[in-house]
């Protein structure tokens, strides 16, 4: 992006990972630098970030990907979340500027292989393009049990909001529900920064991979270009 001009292009990403018999199309652009207010505006128009690519789904005949954000200042843990929070009280979280680290990469490879059944090992360049290159201020959150790295989270941190980018964990520790714990931690981190909104990307109602986001309330979803209370959602 230069001179205020954005060159949008449409991509065909193959089969949709969330809905059978659908294909996945995005409208997107790439940029190596994006001002905070510009990124916030794009998030509020339903865009998402992957590496240097800013994208929004534009799939024919489908509007299942609905942007969602948590009102962290008014969030209250439910019973299961409180149990998960207590279970991980010994977990230590360290914040670092985004950087390539061999131990991080090894955990990312393990997660993709053991949790997502990746057919071939993830290459360094794929990991770098997805999670290390960024046009906005990004933090890596490293989750430790003792001295063992058991989880990694990526957060885009803006003055007025936080956007949760991705999370991986050591599948050996699946019983700790680290995905839940990481979101609860991000909520507490946003509260500490006195930030109201934690953006979670897309909620997909009928996808077991994505409908977990509805468990963090109160929340808002973006519908007809307006943020509305989650409970007011209409298909």
DSSP assignment of 176-196: G-HHHHHHHHHHHHHHHTT--
Whether 100 is covered by a domain: the verdict is yes
Spatial distance between the Cα atoms of 125 and 128, rounded to a whole number of angstroms: 5
Least confident of 11-15, 79-83, 140-144, 165-169: 11-15
Q: Report if residue 135 sits inside a domain.
A: yes
Select from 33, 49, 67 the last residue of a domain.
Answer: 67
Residue that wins the pLDDT comparison between 7 and 196: 196
Same domain flag for 104 and 50: no
DSSP SS3 for 206: coil
Could you say which of 52, 67, 82 is where a domain stops?
67
Residue-averaged pLDDT of the chain: 92
Residue 177: inside a domain, yes or no? yes
For residue 171 the two structure tokens come to: 């599948």
Residue 15 scores a pLDDT above 70: yes
* Secondary structure class of 171 (helix, strand, coil): helix
Residues 74 and 105 in one domain: yes
Of 51, 67, 83, the one marking the end of a domain is 67
Output the pTM of the full model.
0.92
pLDDT over 70, % of the chain: 97
Q: Is the pLDDT of residue 2 over 50?
A: no
Q: Please check whether residues 26 and 120 belong to one and the same domain.
A: no
Q: pLDDT tens digit string along 185-220?
A: 999 999 999 999 999 999 988 887 788 899 999 999
Are 96 and 196 contained in the same domain?
Answer: yes
85 and 28 in one domain?
no
Task: Please give the residue range of the domain that contains residue 21.
Answer: 9-67
Cα dist. 10→129, 165, 212 in Å?
Answer: 19, 22, 29
Residue 179 and residue 85 share a domain: yes
Task: Kindly report, residue by residue over 43-89, the tens digit of the pLDDT.
Answer: 999 999 999 999 999 888 888 899 999 999 999 999 999 999 999 99
Of the pLDDT bands very low, low, confident and very high (cuts 50, 70, 90), residue 141 is very high
pLDDT of residue 1: 46
Same domain for 225 and 142:
yes
pLDDT at 235: 66
User: What's the CA gap between 223 and 13, in Å, rounded?
Assistant: 24
Residues 75 and 189 reside in one and the same domain:
yes
Q: Based on the fold, state whether residues 43 and 131 are members of the same structural domain.
A: no
pLDDT at residue number 9: 82
- Read off the pLDDT of residues 164-190 as tens digits, 9 standing for 90 and up: 999 999 999 999 999 999 999 999 999
Pairing of strands 138-145, 53-57: unpaired
Tokens representing 139 are: 């933090």
For the chain, how many structural domains are there in total? 2
Looking at the structure, do residues 56 and 124 belong to the same domain, yes or no? no
Percentage of the chain surpassing pLDDT 90? 75
Q: Is residue 98 part of a domain?
A: yes
Instruction: Indicate if the pLDDT at residue 4 is higher than 90.
Output: no
Q: Are residues 63 and 86 in the same domain?
A: no
Residues 89 and 168 in one domain: yes
């Amino acid at each position: 992006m230069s001179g205020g001009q954005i060159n949008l292009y449409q991509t065909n990403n193959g089969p949709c990972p969330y809905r059978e018999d659908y294909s996945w199309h995005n409208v997107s652009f790439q940029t190596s630098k994006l001002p905070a207010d510009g990124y916030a505006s794009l998030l509020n128009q339903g865009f998402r970030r992957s590496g240097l690519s800013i994208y929004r789904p534009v799939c024919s005949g489908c509007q299942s990907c609905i942007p969602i954000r948590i009102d962290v200042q008014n969030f209250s843990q439910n019973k299961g979340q409180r149990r998960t929070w207590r279970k991980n009280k010994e977990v230590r979280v360290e914040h670092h500027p985004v950087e390539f680290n061999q131990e991080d990469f090894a955990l990312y490879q393990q997660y993709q292989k053991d949790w997502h059944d990746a057919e071939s090992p993830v290459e360094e360049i794929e990991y770098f393009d997805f999670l290390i290159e960024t046009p906005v201020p990004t933090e890596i959150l490293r989750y430790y049990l003792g001295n063992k790295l058991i989880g990694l989270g990526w957060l885009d941190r803006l003055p007025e909001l936080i956007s949760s980018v991705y999370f991986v964990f050591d599948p050996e520790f699946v019983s700790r529900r680290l995905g839940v714990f990481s979101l609860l931690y991000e909520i507490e981190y946003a509260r500490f920064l006195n930030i109201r909104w934690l953006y979670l990307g897309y909620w997909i109602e009928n996808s077991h991979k994505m409908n977990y986001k509805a468990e963090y309330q109160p929340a808002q979803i973006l519908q007809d270009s307006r943020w509305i209370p989650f409970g007011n959602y209409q298909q």
